[in-house]
Structure 1
Amino acid sequence: MAAGFQCKQFFIGHQHCAMKVGTDAFLLGAWVRIPASGNLLDIGCGSGILSLMLAQRSQGLQPITALDLDAGAVRQSRMNVAASPWPSAIQVLEQDILTYQPAERYSLLLCNPPYFHQAVPARDAARQLARHSDSLPWPQLLQQAAQLASDDADFALVIPDSSVSLLLQAATLAGWQLKRLCRVQPGPQKAVRRALLQLSRQPAVPEYSQLCIQQSDDQYSGDYRQLLKDFYLKF
């Protein structure tokens, strides 16, 4: 397996991470709307891909905090951040989000969370932690995110499409409102598999959209190319 992924403005090494760089993170990092100002929080940062995408999009002008429980992921993120064009914009902490108590509040929180409910356990303990929601139940995640959020903050996630209703129920109980929802399908003849959600602390009229990654000829769609054009070398 490749040691990492070269983007247009930075390189993501992932050899020390349980979960490697994948499409989900790229989709979320490119799709989420970033506030004009305020602190940003990357929950369960892994290799640091989301933090680096946020740093590129904000030109390194907004402070970003990246958290992960896994020491290997934290080490990897720090290496990737140090080698990037924005080393001073991102602080990487080895920290449990459920016990994290910073002085500041965040204008945007985002997470590519563990979401394999009742799945076969992974053989590797670090991979188990990264893949399974037992370690980070959605109700607790959403409640803690609300505690860390500013009054007008957003919280963005990528999850299986089949779990949207379950997550939105938990989000409502934690005081989040749906702001944006994009359903993602691999190809035109394939079922929707992922959902990108942006939640808000303020009342919002939800925006709905759908993204198809590939066309019927197995080439990347124009919408997907447009979304990732600032990151993928091939686009």
Structure 2
Amino acid sequence: MAAGFQCKQFFIGHQHCAMKVGTDALLLGAWARIPASGNLLDIGCGSGILSLMLAQRTEGRRPITALDLDAGAVQQSRSNVAASPWPATIQVLEQDILTYQPAERYSLLLCNPPYFHQALPARDPARQLARHSDSLPWPHLLQHAAQLACDDADFALVIPDASATMLLQAGAEAGWQLKRWCRVQPSPQKAVRRALLQLSRQPAVPEHSQLCIQQHDGQYSEAYRQLLKDFYLKF
């Protein structure tokens, strides 16, 4: 079997992607709250993991568009979608979100965005594009996402927790309001590392929560197991 990640209902090949399937994307794909209706947009789809998780969660009943700038990632994502139970549900486009101008608007947008600020460049240009925010500045991402969103749309992202305030400020300037914020801690012995954020175009009373991935004994926590039980083979 090709290099990749096996979920309960689909396989994700990722050998042609700069960024491999990781915990960040799996958390976001399982945690994001999906509106009851409307089209879905996966920004910077990479291997297509988020789109396929959305397709599984909606039983293939909602149109999903997946975008990526990298030709290798687009090819990989299309292959993964074609081999999945929902090949007709997901459309994968080689497209820049900053110039994308579809006729439709989206009720949910998801993104695992580049988040390294002013960091040393990666040796691989594709990995540089996927990891560093210079390629997709957050204010530009949030502003264009707002233009693609329905009036009551949500935008879900996963970023370093230390950068959450910065992103929320940029989001507010683009008309996004905080709806949910989950702080993710690898284990009780370690500091919070990631923030799962769900923003809304409408005013909301923010929901705050915290998730610990592992227990003191190194075993996965029950909360993490419950979140990923529909996807992880081991759960």
TM-score by length of 1: 0.99
Q: Which amino acid is the alignment partner of residue 57 of structure 1?
A: R
1:171 alignment partner, SS class: helix
Match of 2:185 in 1: 185
* Mapped partners of 2:118, 2:128: distance in 1: 12
* Mapped partners of 2:36, 2:82: distance in 1: 24
1:98 alignment partner, SS class: coil
User: How far has the Cα of 1:118 moved from its partner?
Assistant: 1.2
1:184 alignment partner, SS class: strand
* Mapped partners of 1:232, 1:165: distance in 2: 31
2:60 alignment partner, SS class: coil
Q: Deviations over 1:137-188 (max 9, x none)?
A: 0000000000000000000000000001100000000000000000000000
Q: Deviations over 1:98-149 (max 9, x none)?
A: 0000000000001000000111110000000000000000000000000000
Once the two structures are superposed, the pairs formed by residues 59-98 of structure 1 within 5 Å of their partners are: 59-98=59-98
TM-score by length of 2: 0.99
In the comparison of the two structures, how many residue pairs are matched? 234
Match of 1:107 in 2: 107
Asked if 1:153 is matched to 2:158, the reply is: no
User: How far has the Cα of 1:61 moved from its partner?
Assistant: 0.2
CA RMSD of aligned residues (A): 0.5
* Mapped partners of 2:162, 2:118: distance in 1: 14
* Mapped partners of 1:201, 1:104: distance in 2: 16
* Mapped partners of 1:119, 1:212: distance in 2: 27
Q: Which amino acid is the alignment partner of residue 26 of structure 1?
A: L
Match of 1:53 in 2: 53
* Mapped partners of 1:86, 1:226: distance in 2: 24
1:223 alignment partner, SS class: helix
* Mapped partners of 2:50, 2:165: distance in 1: 25
Match of 1:233 in 2: 233
Asked if 1:134 is matched to 2:119, the reply is: no
* Mapped partners of 2:22, 2:156: distance in 1: 17
* Mapped partners of 1:9, 1:110: distance in 2: 21
Asked if 1:218 is matched to 2:227, the reply is: no
Q: Which amino acid is the alignment partner of residue 231 of structure 1?
A: F
Match of 1:13 in 2: 13
The runs of at least 4 consecutive aligned structure 1 residues that moved more than 4 Å come to: none
Structure 2: unaligned runs, 5 residues or longer? none
* Mapped partners of 1:7, 1:149: distance in 2: 29
Structure 1: unaligned runs, 5 residues or longer? none
